[in-house]
Amino acid sequence: MKKYVILFSIFLLFGCLNQTDDTNQTTEKIVSASVQKTVKEISNSITDLKNESLIINASESIKNNDQCEKPVFTKYFVDPKYIMQVGQIGTLHGSGQFTVGRSYISIKDEFKLQKIPIYTPTDMVLTTGAYYQVSAPGGQYLGEPLPDYALNFDAGCGVEILLGHLKETVPDISRQFSVPKSDSRTEELTRIKFKAGDLVGYFVPGAGVAAFDFMIHDASVVNQFANNARQEYGQSDNLIHIACPYDFYTGEMKDAYYNLIGSVPGVENKQCGPASRDYPGTISGLWFLDKEVKKLMYDYSQEGNYGSLLAVVGDSDRVLIGTIGNRRSTFIYPNEPTYKDPKDVTDQHCYQLHPYNSPSQSEGYIFFKLVDEKTMKVFYGETGQCPDVFPVTGWMTYYR
C-alpha cells in the first residue's frame, strides 16, 4: 500500500506542474521546491523498500541454508557380504596417470560372474549418465568386457553421488540410452527419483573391469592440495570437492565398510582417504613437469620416460607410483627392502623395481630427491640397482 501511495503522489505533483501560471513565479518556485523535497522523500522510500526486500531475501537464504541438512545414508549400496576390499579415495587411477576421488570396490572371487545388486544409499535423483564400451582387457583375468554405465545422482544439499562401472541398470535408466558410445562422457538424462534402498542396477565381476566405483562430490568440502590451481584450472575440479562416501553412514553400517578398507583384515583405525595426498616437505602427492599451470591436469602426455603428471602415493597396502618409463604403474609393498611411505621421505629415497610377482629380480629403480616444498628431481633407471647417491645427470624436474 505504501508503494502505491508514493506513486500516486508523484502523479498528482507532476500533473500540477503542467498547469503553470507564467504570472505566478512565486507559486512555481514553491511548487518546485515542494516537488524536489517530495521526490527526495520518494527516492528514500523506494530505497527503503529495496533494502527491506534484500533483507527479507537474505533472511530467507540464511533460513534455507540453516534448513539444508546433509543426507545420511541409511541403506547399503552393496551388501558387504559380497565385498573383498574397499579402496581408499585419493589413490592411483588404474591408468597410473593421476589420483582419483572414487573408492574402488572389488568383489570376492566366489561371486565372480554373478550379478551383484547395487542400491541407492539414500533418497536421490538421477541427473546425468553415460553408457559406453569398455576396451578389451587383453587377457583372461578381467574376462569378456560388457559395456559400462556411469550414473550421477543429486542427493541434495550440494551432495552428488557417482556409481560407476555398472553393467546393467533398471529399465527406467537403461531405456534412456541406445547403443554404447566409445567414451564415458556423460549426458543429461530424464530425472528419476529414487528412495533409499531402491535397486539401481548390477555390477558383474569379470566382465571387463576389476571393480566398480562409489564417489561423492560435496560442495561444502574444499580439499587442500599443495597448489590448488592445478585442480581448479579449466574447472577440472574433480578432486577439490571429493568426500569419503562411507562417512555419510553411521554406526554399524559405517563400521562394516570401514572394516573392508584395504586388503589386511583386522587392522584398527583404518582411514578412508584423504583425497589429497600432497604433504608439503615430502615427496608424497601430485607432481608436474610444467612449472606453471598451463593445461588441465588430465591432459596427460609423456616426455621420454617421464609423464607430465607423476603421482607418488602411499595407501593402506603399498606405495603407488604413476606412469614412468614403460611401466603403467609401480607398486612397492611393505615386505620389500626399499619400501617407505612417501610422506615419510623428506630428503631423498630410491625405490628398487622388479618384475611383477618376482621381488628377487631387479628391473631398474626410481630415485626421488626433494629440492624444496615445490620442487623435486626424479631419475628413472631402466636397469640396475639403486645407487648410493642421486645421479648427476639424466633426471627430470617436477613441480607442485
CA dist., res. 92 & res. 313, Å (int) = 7
- Residue spans of the chain under pLDDT 70: 1-66, 136-141, 235-237, 356-360
H or E stretch covering 41: helix 25-67
Residue 392 CA to residue 181 CA, distance in Å, equals 48
**Residue ranges per structural domain of the chain:** 2-67, 80-258, 285-399
The helix/strand/coil state of 46 is helix
Q: What is the pLDDT of residue 235?
A: 64
Q: Which CATH code for domain 80-258? A: 2.70.70
DSSP letters for 107-169: E-GGGTTS-EEEE-SSSEEEEEEEEEPPPP-SSSSS-S---EEEEEEEEETTEEEEEEEESEE
DSSP assignment of 141-152 equals SS-S---EEEEE
Nearest to 152, CA basis, from 196, 117, 200: 200
Map grid coordinates 500500500 to a residue. Answer: 1
Residue 236's pLDDT is: 62
The pLDDT, as a whole number, for residue 357 is 61
- The C-alpha atoms of residue 84 and residue 66 are separated, in whole angstroms, by 40
In this prediction, residue 237 carries a pLDDT of: 67
